[in-house]
Structure 1
C-alpha cells in the first residue's frame, strides 16, 4: 500500500513545489518503488496476455515563431492600418476644406458703401479681360460700375463640349456678382449693352436690351476711369448667307442653338420614308474654321457619334459625316508642325474630312459653295453648318475709333500703349480682343492683361491715398522725416512697369480621348499629343476655372457622361 501511494504521488512530487535538493534526494527512492510495483504487476499477468512495449515515436514539434517572423507577418498589417488612417485624415481634411471654401463663397461679407469722393471706375464687358481685372482689383479706392449685356463670365475653351452634351451650360458660367459681392467696396452691376463712349465728356451711355424692360431704358453716366473690354463679334468676311444659315460658336446661346439643330437633323434623318439623299445631307455636319474652336467642335462631334449616336440611332449613325473647311494650308496654324500633322492624321483615322486651302464663297440654306486650291467651285450639302472663323470689331468699338481717328489708325482694333492705356483717350484703358496689339487675340492674353491692369489701378489707389496723407502732413507741419518717408512711397507708387505677356502654352482637344499640348520650355517648346495630353488638358482647364463651384460641376459632368453617356433628348 505504501508503494502504491508513493507511485500515485510521483506526478505531484515532480512539480516544482519542492526544493531542488529535496527533489533530487527523493527521486531514486520513488523510482525504485515504482520499479518494484511495476515488476510485481507484470508477474501477476500471464506471459501471453502481456503487451509488448511499443517503440517510442517522435512527436513533431511545431517550429517556434521568433520575433523576426512575427514582425514580417505584422508589417503589411501595420502598413494597411497606417494607410487607412492617413487616407481617412486626408478625406476628412479635404471635405472640411471644400465645405469651408464653398460656404465662404456662398456667404459674401458686408461691403463698404459707395463713396462719392472716390473716383468712378466703369468696366465694360464680362469676358476674360474684364473678369480677370475684377477678380484682382482692390475696390477700396474706387466706385466700380460694371456694364455688360450678360451678367456672367463664360469659360469659352469648354464651350464646344456644351454643343453635344458633354458639359451642361451652367457648369461653365460664373455669375459676375459672385465676384463683385466679395469686394471690399460695393460694386454696381448692370446687365445692359453699352451704346456709346464719349472720350471728351468722359461718359458712357448704355441701354437695357432684355426682353423685360422698365421705364428707364437708356442711361448715361460719367466716369473717371474706363476699362474697355467689350470683346469682338464673329467675322463673316461679308459672305452672303452666313448670318442667316450658319451657327456661330462664341456665346452660350450659340452652343444651345447648335445642340438643338444637331438633334433636329438626326431626328429628321431618322424619320420614316426619308429619301437616302436627304439623309446624307442631314447627317453631314460642316465646320468652317480650322482654329482651336473648330477643331475641338469636330472632335466633340466625333465622340458623340462613337459613344452615343451608334447606341441610340443605329439606323442613321453610320451616315454621319464631318467636314472641316480651312482657307489656310493647314489647321491650327498657331501650333507646331508636329502637332498639326498629328491632328490631321487623327482626323483621318476618325474619318473627319479636312479641306485645306478651301474658301467659302456663298452659304445657302442647304449647301455651302466653296472654292478649292485648284480654283474649282462646288457645292457641299449640309445639315448643320458651324462658323468658327475669327473675330471682328464691334460697332461701338468702330465708333470710338472714329472719334479718335487721328491716333486710332488700326482697322482691326484699338491701339494702346505699353501700359494698356488707349491712345487719345484720357483715363481709358483697353484690354482683350478689342485691341490691336502684337499678341494673338486669345483668352490667355486677355486674362493676363486684366491682371496687369488691376495692378496698375492698385498703384493708382495707393498713389491717391499717399497724396492725401502727404497733403495732411504738410498742412499740419509734421516731422520732415515722416514727410520724406511718405514722399518716397509716393514716388515708388508712381513708377509703372509696362505689360509683358508670358505665353503659357496652347491646348486643344481633338477627339477620341486625345488632345495636343504645345508648351514652352526654356527657349524651346514641348509638343505632346495623345491620352496623356488629354489628361493635362482637362487638369489645366479645371485649374483655370474661377471657382470651386465650376470645378465641381465640370468634374461631375465628365463623370456623369462616363457612366451614363450624353443625353440625346431634344430640348
Structure 2
C-alpha cells in the first residue's frame, strides 16, 4: 500500500523546478515562442526564470497536454485553463459576410435563370372570357403583373412593346442613365404568366361599346397585308394614358420637345449637343451663342424640375470640362405659370427647391405664361407682384415642354358615344370600382380616367393592382357559383337524408366563402409621398409613413440617397435594377457621354 501525503504534489513540483534551473544553461539554444510562454504561465512558474529556462519543462508539459490538458495541469497542481479566443466577434462578422454574399449570389443566379427559362404556358381556352387590355403604362402593366391569367384569355394592345419607367426618364436626356435600362420588354412580363397572353403591337383607334369590339391599326414601320382589324372582348381595360397638352398655344407642337416617351428623351439629348456644337462653330456671333446655349423648360412640376437638375449636373460635371468655351454662356431657365414650382409639395420644400436652383444658377420665372412659340423665341406674359402684366420675348436654343395632359383620340371618341360622359372633359369618368360611367364590363385607369386623385404614376399603379384583385375575385366568384349550382342539384336529387345534410353543410361553407370574396372595397388611393431630384446630388421628398399617420418633408443629400433607393426598389424587374445601378456607377466613375 502506497501512502499519499498532502505534500506529494508540492514535492514533485519542487523537483521539476530545481531540475529546470540546473539544466537551463546547457539545454537552452533559442528562446521559446510566445504561445509556449502563454501555456506555461498559468502553471505557476517563477517569473524570474528566463525564456530559455522554460524549454525542458515545456517539452514535458506539451507531451502531457497533447493527451489531456486537464491532467497535465493537475500533474503540477494548477487549475485547468484554456487560452482565450481572440477576435471572436470579427471572425463571426467575416463569416456572416461571406455567407450573405454567397446567398445573394445564389439568389441572383436563380432569378436570372428563372427569367431566362420561363415555364410552359397553358394555351388559350375558348371557354374562358376574353379580357382586352389597352396600353403598356403603369396601370396596365401593374394589372398584368398581379392578374391570374389562368382564368381569362388576355389580349394586350399597345403601340410600344415595353414598359417605360417614367420617373427616371429625365436622367436619359443627359446620359446619366441609358434608355434601355428603364425599358422592360412587355413580352418578358406576359411570358411568365400561367396562361398564354396575346400581344399586338398596334394602336387602338376605336372602341365600339355596343358591339364590344376594339379596332386597331398596325403601328410598326413594316406593313403587312392586314393593317387594320378588330378584336372582340368580354371585358375591356383602357389604360392608354394621355398625350401632351399644348393648351392651343401656337407653335408648341412644331417647335418644342416633349418629355413623355423614350423617343422624346433621345431627341432632347440630340438637341442639347447640337446646340453646343453649333454655338462653338467658327465665326458664330455672341448673340447667337447666347441664344443657342439658353435651355428653357416650361413646367414647374416634378418632370420639369428633375430635367433642370439633370441638365445642371451635365453642364457642371462634364460639359464645363470638355467644352470650356461655353462655360460663361450656358444658361437654364424654368418657366411656370403658377406662383411657385412643385405645387404638390410642402411650402418648406418649395422654398428649398427655389433656393437650391438659385445657388445652381437656374433661373426660375413664376407667374410667367407662354403665349406663342417660334423656332427661336417664346413670347410670354409676366404677372408682376402688383398685378400688372407685361409681355416679353425669350430666345432659346432648346425648349422642353413638360406641363399638362390632353385626352387621346380613342378616348375622346368613346366619350362621344356615351351620354353619361357628356360632362367629362379631362378623360373617362369612372365610378368607385373604376368602371366607365355608362358602360358595363369596361374599366379605365391611369391618365385617361378622371378621378378625385392626381394623374400620377403612383395612382395608376395602385389602380392596376386594384383591378387585378377585382378580376381575380370575379373569377373565384364565378367558380364558386358554379360549384354551388352543382351542389344544389346534387342535394335535390339525393335520396339519403344524411347525404343531403352533408351537401347542405358544404353549400353553407361555400356560401360564406363567396360572401367574403364579394366584399371587395372600392378603390382607395394610399399616397406614399412625392419625390423630386433638384440637381447637385440633392432631392426633396414629402413622405407619408404608416398610411399617412406620420408625414415628413426633407431635402438635401441624404434625401437624394433615399430618392435613388426608392426609385431602384420601384423598378419592376431585377434586370432593370441592375442596369440602373450600373449606369449610376458608370456615370460617377467616367462621367456622361458627350456624343449624340
Could you tell me the TM-score, scaled by structure 1's length?
Answer: 0.87
Secondary structure at 2:443 match in 1? strand
> 3-state SS of the aligned residue for 1:406?
helix
Residue 402 (structure 2) pairs with residue 376 (structure 1): no
Give the corresponding residue for 2:66: none
SS in 1 for 2:419: coil
Give the CA deviation at 1:218: 0.8
Q: Where in structure 2 are there 5+ consecutive unaligned residues?
A: 1-10, 23-46, 55-78, 495-502
Structure 1 residue 316: deviation in Å? 1.2
Cα distance in structure 1, aligned partners of 2:123 and 2:479: 18
1:350 CA displacement: 0.3
Distance 1:68 1:439, change over 3 A: farther
Specify the alignment match of 1:529 in structure 2.
555
Change (3 A) 1:141 1:70: same
Give how far 1:490 is off.
2.5
1:360 aligns with 2:374: no
Mean alpha-carbon deviation: is it higher for 251-260 or for 98-107? 98-107
In structure 2, C-alpha distance between the alignment counterparts of 1:395 and 1:198, rounded to whole Å: 14
Unaligned runs of 5+ in 1: 1-15, 28-57
Match of 1:552 among 572, 578, 594: 578
CA distance in 1, matches of 2:536, 2:456: 25
Do 2:541 and 2:559's aligned partners in 1 also have CA atoms closer than 8 Å? yes
The 10-residue stretch of structure 1 (173-182 or 345-354) with the greater mean CA deviation from structure 2: 173-182
Q: Distance in 2 between matches of 1:519 and 1:67?
A: 61
Alignment partner of 2:412 out of 398, 411, 415: 398
Helix, strand or coil at the partner of 2:273: helix
Q: How big is the shift at 1:475?
A: 3.4
Residue 139, structure 1, aligned to residue 139, structure 2: no
TM-score, reference length from structure 2? 0.83
1:408 and 1:414 in contact (8 A); partners too:
no
CA change 1:420–1:67 in 2 (3 A) is farther
Query: Is the aligned partner of 1:176 residue 2:200?
Result: no
**Runs of 4+ residues over 6 Å off in structure 1:** 66-70
**CA deviation map 1:385-407 (0-9, x unaligned):** 00001111111111111111334
Distance (whole Å) between structure 2 residues aligned to residue 219 and residue 213 of structure 1: 13
SS of residue in 2 equivalent to 1:409: coil
User: Which residues in structure 2 correspond to 1:264-413 (within 5 Å)?
Assistant: 264-373=274-383, 374-413=388-427
Distance 1:180 1:225 in 2: 18
Shift of 1:68: 11
For residues 421 and 537 of structure 2, the distance between their equivalents in structure 1, rounded to whole angstroms, comes to 48
Change (3 A) 1:127 1:67: farther
**Equivalence for 1:493:** 517
Residues 258, 402 of structure 2: 8 Å contact kept:
yes
CA gap of 1:67–1:86, structure 2 versus 1, over 3 A, is farther
Aligned residues: 516
| Alignment match, 1:75 | 86
CA deviations 1:309-356 (Å, max 9, x no partner) are: 011111113311000000000000000000000000000000000000
Aligned mates of 1:407, 1:179 — CA distance in 2: 34
Task: Give yes or no for the alignment of 1:510 onto 2:534.
Answer: yes
Equivalent residues in 2 for 1:87-486, closer than 5 Å: 87-373=97-383, 374-477=388-491, 479-486=503-510
Cα drift, residue 494 of structure 1: 2.7
State the distance in 2 between where 1:133 and 1:543 align.
18
Contact 1:310–1:318 (Cα < 8 Å) also in 2: no
Greater Cα radius of gyration, structure 1 or 2: 1
Cα displacement (A) at 1:486: 2.3
Instruction: Give 2:25's aligned residue.
Output: none
Q: CA deviation at 1:473?
A: 2.2
Q: What are the superposed Cα offsets for residues 24-69 of structure 1, whole Å, 9 maximum, x if unpaired?
A: 9xx9xxxxxxxxxxxxxxxxxxxxxxxxxxxxxx9885799x9999
